Structure 1
């Protein structure tokens, strides 16, 4: 049964992985646009940072609603609409129309587009097509392909900026984003609900069940740290290295290394998540992130130390995602996974908003990123402590022992 279910999910796994490759890959390169856009428009770094922060906030706030629609009507229409909004937002970013138009495109439209083309919707659709013992591995494989997009799209984005300037690059990326639309039709709906009696409840009851579980909130609060760290690094690392006299090509390579090494990190996180306690793995990942960031700051900075930072950080970059979503599926099942995963992801995006905007805000007021780096390290320690006591007992098991 497990083998046939896996075979039936093959096309969905491929299409979902390619959607994440494009969606996450394009987004991962936004930091390369910070300096050229700000210089061309005469803005401070806070303007661009606010647009990216708003993008993450809109993405997170809309994700539970998008997830609820996907749970009810399937992933295909949600992905199709998300792809169109994503492409429209990239095109609007390319237009020289002032801060308001840029923020509308980069912040609102792309934020909505991401909510329809990323983890909660894709993972839930695939999880319904595979056996429970294979879900963590399936998420790890999908996330690994998405990580390859983060590696591959960085040199592509940089090449487009060099060849066609930043406006032409954004137009080209908007055309690429439209490819997600046909890929969405490869994600079929599960032929029958893969739920237990406890899982087979209305979305209102699913919300009540989740809200009443301490572990749901601990998982969400821990995910806040992940959002802060990845967005702060992705958006501000190129500018941080440039401030320290290290050229833009180095930053591109560092971000590409993060995406490349995260292919292995995401895959093994999904693989080990099927064998070990996922919250325990999350705690170790967050602790490791804090150590890596601290070492990067306190060791002498050079191009090679930056490359090492990218390679090691890549192991822990988005390896939290399959483990976090896998924990949601283990406890609450898959019927309402898009919606419940979207709520947890909203906490991640609140952290992303803080990391993206606060990095620029602190820089404009202090002239450096020291405080933001310190916050990133502190959040690692807090997230590790929050995830450690979480258990993966199902709702039925929790009620039986209550």
Structure 2
């Protein structure tokens, strides 16, 4: 109940869908992509800082006291969130925006081809991220390398993700988001393929982790940015929440299918090939997405 349900709910209610939607309401359209990149990178920086801090505290004061310490830190977050409270200054008051209901917003989104394609693409992101997080360390051990390289690989992915998220926010604000997303997913497939064909060594693990880290959550700023461009910021939290749900479904399948195929074949090769194919699929589905508002907002000034 505590570790599974309550912490799971807490993570869900403080995830990208809510935080980035709040950012989208208080910054101008030109600043959104970079703001989304900063928000994504901040989450990665927190993971990079607090994971070793947590381990250190557990070793010195125990896990119970560590959880109490982190609970105290979390109480600061609502105070920081006050800065995001209230109606955004860039919120449109046009009837096309203010009169729309949540139900019609959801119906409009699922009736938009680009939104469906974006959801399929983010499913692949979740598949890649969760599979690699859970199964990369044992895969590295299967290669005959010291198991410590698995921990080093995940730490390097997290560190490089900070750079990748910031760069993604900057690039997404200046170039086509759909094409940029296609390039990210295609690059993931290339990086995975090279990792499989190159001789296993600490160097190849580091190169793979660094490259994958740059591509890790670099999908989040342009994905969330496309939701804001197409539908505006008013219901962005809900609509991006549906996209993020597909990400989490992909995460589940990445972890489960990775273990299932390994149990049946005794190797991770098959799931790596599936990951490459899914990356190519995601690159293909993002390419035709149109980065423009839905017809309802076509004549409404950018929010």
TM-score (normalised: structure 1): 0.68
Counterparts of 1:219-238 in structure 2, within 5 Å, are 219-238=118-137
Equivalent-residue separation in structure 1 for 2:71 and 2:137 (angstroms): 24
Equivalent-residue separation in structure 2 for 1:123 and 1:361 (angstroms): 34
Alpha carbons of structure 1 residues 308 and 153: separation in structure 2 relative to 1, 3 Å: farther
1:172 aligns with 2:66: yes
Q: Is the 8 A contact 2:231 2:297 kept in 1?
A: no
Counterparts of 1:180-329 in structure 2, within 5 Å, are 180-187=74-81, 188-192=84-88, 194-195=91-92, 197=94, 198-200=96-98, 201-329=100-228
Shift of 1:358: 1.2
Equivalent-residue separation in structure 2 for 1:156 and 1:270 (angstroms): 28
Equivalent-residue separation in structure 2 for 1:282 and 1:346 (angstroms): 18
Q: Tell me the alpha carbon deviations over residues 251-298 of structure 1, each in whole angstroms, 9 at most, x when there is no partner.
A: 111111111111111011111111111111000000000000111111
1:140 corresponds to which of 33, 37, 52: 37
Range that drifts further, 191-200 or 310-319: 191-200
Which runs of 5 or more residues in structure 1 are unaligned? 1-84, 90-104
Q: Tell me the alpha carbon deviations over residues 375-399 of structure 1, each in whole angstroms, 9 at most, x when there is no partner.
A: 1111000000000010111123776
For CA contacts below 8 A with separation 6 or more, give which structure has more relative contact order. Answer: 2
SS in 1 for 2:281: helix
Q: Tell me the alpha carbon deviations over residues 185-226 of structure 1, each in whole angstroms, 9 at most, x when there is no partner.
A: 311313347135333211011011101100000000011110
Alpha carbons of structure 1 residues 294 and 154: separation in structure 2 relative to 1, 3 Å: farther
Alpha carbons of structure 1 residues 211 and 312: separation in structure 2 relative to 1, 3 Å: same
Hey, what does 1:110 align to over in structure 2?
7
Q: Is the 8 A contact 1:257 1:311 kept in 2?
A: yes
Alpha carbons of structure 1 residues 171 and 212: separation in structure 2 relative to 1, 3 Å: farther
1:373 aligns with 2:249: no
Hey, what does 2:287 align to over in structure 1?
388
Alpha carbons of structure 1 residues 131 and 228: separation in structure 2 relative to 1, 3 Å: same
Shift of 1:364: 2.0
Which runs of 5 or more residues in structure 2 are unaligned? none
Instruction: Please provide the CA RMSD for this pair.
Output: 2.3
Q: Is the 8 A contact 2:137 2:151 kept in 1?
A: yes
Q: Is the 8 A contact 1:195 1:333 kept in 2?
A: no
For this pair of structures, how many residues does the alignment match?
A: 294
Alpha carbons of structure 1 residues 109 and 378: separation in structure 2 relative to 1, 3 Å: farther
Equivalent-residue separation in structure 2 for 1:170 and 1:242 (angstroms): 31
